[in-house]
Amino acid sequence: MKATYGDVAFGGGGDRGGEEYGGAVGGVRFSIDEWMTALYWMDCPEKNDFAWALERVGRCEAQIEAVARELARVGVDAVLDLGFTTRAQRREWLEMARVAGVQCELHVLEVDAEVRWERVLERNRGESGTYAFVVTREMFCFMEERWEAPSAEERGEFGPARMAGV
């Protein structure tokens, strides 16, 4: 059976997009925000400690990958709402999917940064239904600076690439 291993969506709509796509394909959605909130944010020693957070994101991603691999083994799609901000991170997940024999799709939301920031503010106020924790402007800018848009060549390495301005 063919399974979709990745749904890649980046800030300001990604949670909403991942939620909708997961339901549409009958897949299990994994949101890094939800995992971090449930497992780690309450223990964060200092607000906006990015090194501390990124270490724990890595731990979550390792467990998500293990569960997604098991879901693929039994024929269930996984929708990964993990940020995928860098080419290296996307390459790593694509390689893991290939090793597992799983098809991987790339979904990228192409939305202006200010529109995404407005969506983050909506989410912070609890208006979007995907609130997990308050995202500060500093956090948003940190991730914005890390973002590496996928090239046409990179998009072609995934299954049917989808770019959307949701």
Burial class (CB in 10 A: 0-12, 13-18, 19+), 14: buried
* Rounded Cα gap, residues 104 and 97, in angstroms: 7
* Rounded Cα gap, residues 14 and 20, in angstroms: 10
Give me the pLDDT at residue 3, please: 33
Give me the pLDDT at residue 20, please: 53
DSSP 42: G
pTM of the model: 0.75
Residue spans of beta strands (DSSP E) within the chain = 28-31, 78-81, 107-109, 162-164
* Rounded Cα gap, residues 14 and 85, in angstroms: 12
CA nearest to 77, candidates 18, 24, 5: 5
Q: In degrees rounded to 5, what are phi and psi of residue 108?
A: -120, 130
Q: Taking the domains of the chain in order of start, what are their residue ranges?
A: 14-164
Helix (H) or strand (E) holding 73: helix 50-73
DSSP 159: S
Architecture per CATH, domain 14-164, reads as: 3-Layer(aba) Sandwich (3.40)
pLDDT, tens digit (0-9, with 9 covering 90-100), for 67-119:
999 998 898 989 898 888 899 999 999 998 888 888 888 888 888 889 989 99
* Rounded Cα gap, residues 4 and 146, in angstroms: 25
pLDDT, tens digit (0-9, with 9 covering 90-100), for 23-62:
456 789 999 989 998 999 888 887 768 889 889 999 999 9
